[in-house]
Structure 1
């Protein structure tokens, strides 16, 4: 499910699976007590179907101990809330990093997407990302071929080479609504933290994939 945390006029949404984590914060109209709850994934998917991303529509939430009602236009979606403890997502976010990369979001997306033609759909071929100096180098190899691509990146700290599932990285970058993002790394086996440069409106966490020797 998707965790909702409402406090101090802010709504924080948290989604997590076995390989990645996403946190999003937005200000909302609410002056009640702090509250948190978990909405089933199926309910969230139904709500998304009612959105037209080009329209700036309001959504209302009516919350009880066990149920929630979402009101959008003339629709009302009633859902139960999930019981049990949500994962301690704060503990999963690395507190320190040895490498920081500032990169244009679209440049990073384009660089990764240019490797997709040789990634086999039925295999988890990782992309190999090398962050060093002023560039990001992305490569992948499979039975279909090999691709190497470069884009500009402002890297500070240790040089690092790390593998990722290309879909997971692209999902995070596509969901980043800023022109530039900051990528924080703690080494080749630590999760990547993707966030805005000048705010805390979102955080994406992507676990790395183990790399094989290219030779």
Structure 2
């Protein structure tokens, strides 16, 4: 293999492909990136057998071929080179890299030793704007769990029906739900691993142009043009979330999002993890009081609201409620309560298609 390729482009695509390489792999070859030079393109491939990424770069090919090179070492070398043409030549399993006045010789492995990517048979597909997908991932994936004993909850449930797509994530303490309209008559549901969505989100640009998502029986394929991402889907039943998103509320309070978020963040400075990051909310008429008290001290915040219904005393893990509020784009939000023991449902005042639900921490009324 012998090629000439632009340093900046190569570094960008290495960075993309590295997102599929796990630091916990037990197979040494999966620490590597497969380089394949063919048809005036250099194809880079990375995989951990769950998430796979292919990325293509235009290059000048003097001799076709393939090699597997250690991802971290190769990425570090290319990143530090001058922004100029990089000449890469492979002889047996030695890779010679030249750029301006720099020259490296490093060891690789035969390309044929690299595992094949999954052969997927497309069942359905739809298009979605890139910036919209990036936004919906950001609003939901944070609510997945990292508890491997509940594998389906480590992913996001994606449901297509009635020309809309819904993303649902929950971890047993909170739930994030976002629905968007799309031009597709596909009807299906799948669970996409949270890690795959997090890595995809790092690759997506804030562009309005469409990307294509294809669905196979056990995989999802996201086609960005010069980059293609394959992710294995999670198998198993997902929690029946529709039963817990209630429509009726005893109390509704409207607050300015940023003011509420700032108050919660200040109150959480004294909340400690061993005490479940506890913050207490007391809604009294059109005033919302926010309190936290630990051995370190106590804090009291008060903000104005517009409320309707009964007064409420309720407590939350501050991290869970803050993360949900941060995901809402509206300037004002609605807090919907059904007493102190039931979940609080939070919506933006303008966006009815995003719902965040958080379970309270049970406290005796004397504790408020």
| Other-structure match for 1:23 | 177
Residue 86 (structure 1) shift: 1.3
Q: Number of residues paired by the alignment?
A: 213
1:138 maps to 2:287: no
**Runs (4+) off by over 3 Å:** 54-59, 212-215
Do the aligned partners of 2:250 and 2:339 also contact (CA within 8 Å) in 1? Answer: yes
Question: Which segment drifts farther, 119-128 or 2-11?
Answer: 119-128
TM-score after normalising by structure 1: 0.91
Gaps of 5+ in 2: 1-154
TM-score after normalising by structure 2: 0.55
2:360 aligned to 191, 194, 208, which one?
208
CA distance in 2: counterparts of 1:117 and 1:27, whole angstroms: 39
How big is the alpha-carbon RMSD for the aligned residues of Structure 1 and Structure 2?
1.8
- In structure 2, the CA distance between the partners of 1:121 and 1:34, relative to structure 1 (3 Å rule), is same
CA-to-partner distance for each residue in 1:107-156, whole Å, 9 max, x for gaps?
A: 11011112122122443131000112111110000111100001111111
CA distance in 2: counterparts of 1:194 and 1:121, whole angstroms: 23
1:170 maps to 2:322: yes
Equivalent residues in 2 for 1:79-90 (5 A)? 79-90=231-242
Larger RCO, structures 1/2 (Cα 8 Å, 6+ apart):
1
Residue 77 (structure 1) shift: 1.2
| Other-structure match for 1:93 | 245
1:160 maps to 2:319: no
1:126 maps to 2:278: yes
1:115 maps to 2:249: no
| Other-structure match for 1:42 | 195
